[in-house]
Amino acid sequence: MTKTQVLALLKENQNERGIAHWKKMGARKTGKLKSFGIGLTQLRKLAKQIGRDHKLAQLLWKSDIYDAKVLGLLIDDPKQITREQAEQQVEQLHAGMLAHVFASCDATLAKSPIAEPLSRDWIESKDNVRRRCGYTLLYELSKKSIKTMDDAYFLDRITHIRDTIHDQEMWVREAMNLALMGIGKRNPRLNQAAIAAVKSIGPVDIDYGPDNNCEPLNVMYHLTSEYVKRKFSR
């Protein structure tokens, strides 16, 4: 498909309710980006319809339409994503507005060969958006078996999260919670370490604002769920 065809597809699937919500958020949050108001679930369906296309992904990313940028992230080819591209894109996430699709939600970047070194480097970055993406990538990578990410590495991450989470920007705190949950679901040893960290951390201050109905992630609930208990009892 061409960029023109994709934009036509987005227009066909525009959501008036979503557009109204976008306008309600205002320019302070959305900047100069426009939107067809399409939800992520529908955008994922459209991405599958379009298929992997690295060149098209780059063109869509340069658009001033939010939905097109999201599609660009979803259809990119993980094998062709370079470090240079990732570093450029992380600078263009509109203060983190696109970070959830860029580094989480089964993100394409997390499937790339550079995801592991990016996560390590970004976690140590002084930039809030990079740290947020680094920890969110860590969550995605915690679901996989990677030789360079053994129990010792994850235990070190748990300790670092425990000791520094309250000093971080809100979205970084949220990403740290997500990573802590993912790590704690890997095996019984990491589960117990993560649970101990959650108890030590205590309540984490996360406030999405009056216009957002989302509840902060309950890490302890997920680490002690019946599903996790059954998983580790096998």
| Residue environment code for 117-146, b if the CB has 16+ CB neighbours within 10 A, otherwise e | ebbbebbeeeebbbbbbbbbbbbbbbeeee
CA–CA dist 234, 231 (Å, integer): 6
Q: 68: closest CA among 1, 133, 3, 20?
A: 3
The amino acid at 51? G
How confident is residue 27, by pLDDT bands cut at 50, 70 and 90? low
CA–CA dist 204, 198 (Å, integer): 9
pLDDT for residue 52:
96
Report the SS3 class of residue 129: helix
Mean pLDDT calculated for residue range 2-9: 97
Looking at per-residue pLDDT, the higher value among 224 and 23 belongs to: 224
The predicted model scores a pTM of 0.91
- Structural tokens at position 92: 């263009």
How confident is residue 30, by pLDDT bands cut at 50, 70 and 90? confident
Q: 176: closest CA among 186, 164, 185, 188?
A: 164
Of 40-44, 92-96, 101-105, 153-157, least confident by mean pLDDT is: 92-96
Distances in Å between the Cα of 23 and the Cα atoms of 28, 43, 96, 212 are: 11, 19, 18, 14
pLDDT for residue 115:
95
Q: Is the pLDDT of residue 97 over 80?
A: no
CA–CA dist 125, 71 (Å, integer): 27
